Structure formats: C-alpha cells, structure tokens
Amino acid sequence: MQLRFLNVGCADAIIVKFKEEDGTIHNIIIDGGPENAQLYQQTLRKEIIDILNLGEKIDLWIITHIDNDHIGGLLCLINDKSLLSLLDLSETIFLYNYNYKDDYLIKKRIDNFISVSQGIRLRDFLLSKSTVLDNITAGKKIKSHGLDITIISPSVDIYNELQSKWNHEEIKITKGSNTRLISTTKSDFQIPIDSFDPNYYDEDNNTLWNKSSIALLIEHDDKRILLSADSISSVLISSLMSMGYSTNNKISLDCFQLPHHGSKYNTSKELLDMIDCDKYVICANATNKHKLPNKETIARVISSNQKEINIYFTDFNPTLSSIFSVDDKNIVSSCNMHFTVNNAIILNL
C-alpha cells in the first residue's frame, strides 16, 4: 500500500494506492486540497492524469467535510472540462455527508468566510455524475477490493447536528447572509518544547464542520493507517474504545495523520496514549493564517512515545524547518522530521 500526501498547503489531499490479490491496482482519494488553480494543476490534477495514464481508475473518493481546504480542489475539477472529458466519474463511488434541499439559491462564496455554498455546488455536481453515499458515521464498515475501511468519525449525534446546521446555513444562503469570519493566530514555534504541558488540552468543540469530519481506519494486508481529517480527539477516542482499544491495549498503526493539520485543539495526549505508531503525518506548512501545525501538538506526540518517531510534513520552507530551533537537541533527538519531496510525502507500507 502506498500513501501519497500531496503538498497543497495547509490542506488535505491524499491518495491511497493498493494492489488487489489479482494484481489490479486501485486508488482511493481523500479530499482534494484548496480552491487554488496553481496548486490544483501541480498536485491533484497531475495525480489524476497519472492514474489515467496507467490505465487505472479512482475507485473511491472520500470527502471528509466541506471546508475549502479539503474540497476546493474538487471545485477546480468541476471547472476542468478537459480533464472531465477523460475522467469517468460514474466509475467512482463518493463518500460525502451532505444535506439535500430542492429550494435554494447558490450565492458566490465570499473570501475569508466559511459557507456551505461550496458544499452545495459540489453536492449537486456529484449527484448528477456519480454514486454518492452519505450518512457516513462511526462504526460503519466499507470494503473495497480487499481493503477494509472502518469509519471512526463523526458520531451519529454529530452527523445529525451537521444535517441541522447545513440546513440552517443553506437557508441563510438563500437570504444572502454568510457565516463566521476566520480568525488569525500566532505561531508557537519560538516556545521551547519542554515548556508545554502535554496533558493540557482544550478541544475544538465549536467548529462543527471540523468535528463532523469523516475519519477512517484503513486496513490492507497487515497494514493499518488512521486518516483523521479535521476530527476531534473525543470522537476518535470514543470510537477506538468501542473497538476495544485503550491506553492498556493500544491500537498499532503504521501511519497516523494528525487531525486538523496538527492543531493543538484536535489532538489530545489521551488519544495519543491509545496509539502505538512511529509515523505521524501533518498536512500543514506553518505559513498559513492559523500558523499550523502547533508545536504544542508535537510536544504531546513526543511525550506519548518512548521510542524514536518520525514526523512527516507535506511542505518544506524555512519557517517549518525552524520548529525546533530554540530547543535543546537532546530533548528532540527522538523526533525525526521529514519534509515533502516533489510535491508529496510518499510512504510505501
């Protein structure tokens, strides 16, 4: 199984490539990065062209939630007529927790605002072209050509909350209003790593779009990976506990994508203490307006491991590579940092 985490800034675009017993290669895509034409051309579009040139198809496409940094690349695809003429989306199954209404007016998305208008646009396009499965909630299982997927997030309650919120926001769109403005924050890279309290955790419970993210446990042969999108620890913990895992019976992972681009509000030490893993992936670049990843998250990862670990970042720049510049090398010696090469982190498991 090969994982390709594309360099799309502080955003998610992931490709899982695996081989069936008969040798057939299959592809699963998770999200698509932001609505940025240049990034789309360099990453998602290029990957799709490569898949088609190899005579392969996209078997499954999982849309974790409707934030632009996850579905924007799909919005670029909608406008890419030349690629759509080559790509038969009727062969692809989409997993997407959407809300369906008949009476709405799509208004243009306003920069710096989160709105369901982009989710509406994607929803209607996919419903006209493909098979779209919704009501994707924790505990559900999906099989794809010998690969097993267990949904870890969202919970049923959060899914129902999402449906209500989406409906409310869609009504607001018909009236021309928008939702909250995205705020900015400061980087914590200049704080020594041993200054953080790894046990302190303030969860992101106010952002429904994030906590309703589809997180999935993928198993193939003897490999197991957890892709968490922007989900929150409490939901992930609840799902893992329902599967019999705990701090005394840890789940063994070959790769764990840290939630919400390494945000300190989404990854608790309690969650990390339930996981046995030495490969962590962070889909962020440190130069985004939220200054993600948070160094505090990495401090928790280090404190939860007694072994050498590897952290993979989907970008490379001076800011990101300076994350440990103020730290004693002995303190961070067990943490190996890896950065993107040729627009992707590629892990062959």
The series of mean pLDDT values per 10 residues for the chain, 349 residues long, is 97 96 94 95 97 97 95 96 96 90 39 63 92 96 95 96 81 51 71 95 89 97 97 97 97 98 97 98 94 96 94 95 93 93 94
Structure confidence by residue, pLDDT tens digits, 161-177: 998 888 777 666 655 54
Residue 79 to residue 101: CA distance in whole angstroms: 23
- Torsion of Cα atoms, 82 then 84 then 88 then 93, to 10°: 160
101, 170 Cβ separation under 8 angstroms: yes
The pLDDT score that the predictor gives to residue 46 is 97
The pLDDT score that the predictor gives to residue 112 is 34
Q: Could you identify the residue written with the tokens 């062209």? A: 49
For the chain, what's the residue count?
Answer: 349
The pLDDT score that the predictor gives to residue 117 is 81
User: Which residues partner with 280 through β-bridges?
Assistant: 256, 311
The pLDDT score that the predictor gives to residue 164 is 86
Look at residues 199, 194, 188, 200 and name the one whose alpha carbon lies nearest to residue 331. Answer: 194
The pLDDT score that the predictor gives to residue 155 is 96
Q: Could you identify the residue written with the tokens 């021309």? A: 176
- Domain boundaries of the chain, sorted by first residue: 2-348
The fourth-level CATH superfamily of domain 2-348 is Ribonuclease Z/Hydroxyacylglutathione hydrolase-like (3.60.15.10)
Residue 269 to residue 17: CA distance in whole angstroms: 30
Q: What is the pTM of this model?
A: 0.92
174, 262 Cβ separation under 8 angstroms: no
The pLDDT score that the predictor gives to residue 113 is 40
Look at residues 79, 1, 95, 90 and name the one whose alpha carbon lies nearest to residue 45. Answer: 79
φ, ψ (nearest 5 deg) of residue 122? -70, -45
Residue 33, number of CB atoms within 10 A of its CB: 28
